[in-house]
Structure 1
């Protein structure tokens, strides 16, 4: 029985072991080491989608927390 190989970082020319859980990119579905786990570090194809999604989520949160002035109280 051959020993199972540890998953390696999907970043080009990186031979480091991929980190479990924190090294999994939900946008490009790659597995990365601690050095390349951030979207910017591994040139993620989903970086723009992530920015748009975060911007929309933050805008919705700010709108829901907006203070409404009640006149006549």
Structure 2
């Protein structure tokens, strides 16, 4: 018996969810190609995602910051 297709978690959507790209790590939903982006399925944790991305970018910028050597 073939495995059941997972339906899109978005309300009123009857499409099949995408296997890997349709999984949302922030709300644990499974979404079709039309609703796979955070903005498209109105993810409840969108602000957490933005905050996490901002912190990662800030860490990367601090890591790449040029240090001034004085007294050389």
The normalised TM-score by structure 1 is 0.90
Name the residue aligned to 1:24: 23
Match for residue 8 of structure 1?
Answer: 7
Question: Where does 1:18-57 land on structure 2 (aligned, <5 Å)?
Answer: 18-57=17-56
Hey, which bits of structure 1, 4+ residues long, moved more than 4 A? Answer: none
Shift of 1:46: 1.0
Count of equivalent residues? 72
Gaps of 5+ in 1: none
Per the TM alignment, residue 42 of structure 1 is displaced from its structure 2 partner at its CA by 0.2
List alignment gaps of at least 5 residues for structure 2: none
TM-score normalised by L of structure 2: 0.92
